Amino acid sequence: FPLSNMRRPIAARLVESKTTIPHYQVTVAVRLDALMSLRTQLNDQLATQGVKLSVNDFIVRACALAMHQHPFVNSRWIGTKGQEAIEILDTVNMGVAISLPQDKGGGLVVATIRQADAKGLRMISAETKALADKARTKGLTIDEMGDSTFTISNLGMFGVEHFTAIINPPNAAILAVGGAVKKAIVETKNGQDSIVVGHEMQMTLSSDHRIIDGAMAAQYLASVKAMLEAPATLLV
């Protein structure tokens, strides 16, 4: 099959990323029971307004807010020979990977939620849905796909539990998100262990090792995990 006009630049960009950026991955598991309960409550209350929040909306907001504590994750590598540098970016623009139908050439595009750290869940949800619908029908403009500073790729809706993603240049990192899986979880309370049934989700951060050290990646993921496990913090 000949490459489509969409698949050709995607292929070139992925090869560039994988061959020029030193990738490594760090994975954490997140308990989602509190988030799923809050999401159900909010969606019940907002149903009459046509609002339906997704788990991914919470993830986008958590990732954006965590940038304030971990600015190197929201940066890019300046590769001018002899003048290499790291540029910390002032704005937090979250890229959301959107898969395209085969009749549109397949592949994926990254839609940009600009200044996502300043937007609430309802606005993030509305923008993400509008961009995804447009990407799969009319196609996105260069502006709607440009200037992302971090990317989230979520395959949980396809039953995927864990995967790694290739960094979207010039981003310094990309988060691969699996689905919420019901499983037996060991819980410790007052020094006593018990086994409970809960929902757990795996998140894997692929990072540019020139910019983000292993400890930085782990600390960023810890901040995102803490917000997702105490989701009321994402409402304010």
Q: What are the residue numbers of the active site? A: 209
Rg for the chain (alpha carbons), in Å?
A: 18
The two structure tokens encoding residue 204: 């894997």
Q: How many other CB atoms sit within 10 Å of the CB of residue 227?
A: 20
Inter-residue contact 64 to 153 (CB < 8 Å): no
Inter-residue contact 148 to 93 (CB < 8 Å): yes
Mapping DSSP to helix (H, G, I), strand (E, B) and coil, where does residue 53 land?
A: coil
Q: How far lies 198's CA from each of 141, 185, 202, 203, 226, in Å? A: 41, 6, 13, 17, 17
Name the H helices within 71-141.
121-137
Name 197's Cβ contacts closer than 8 Å, sequence gap at least 6.
Answer: 182, 183, 184, 185
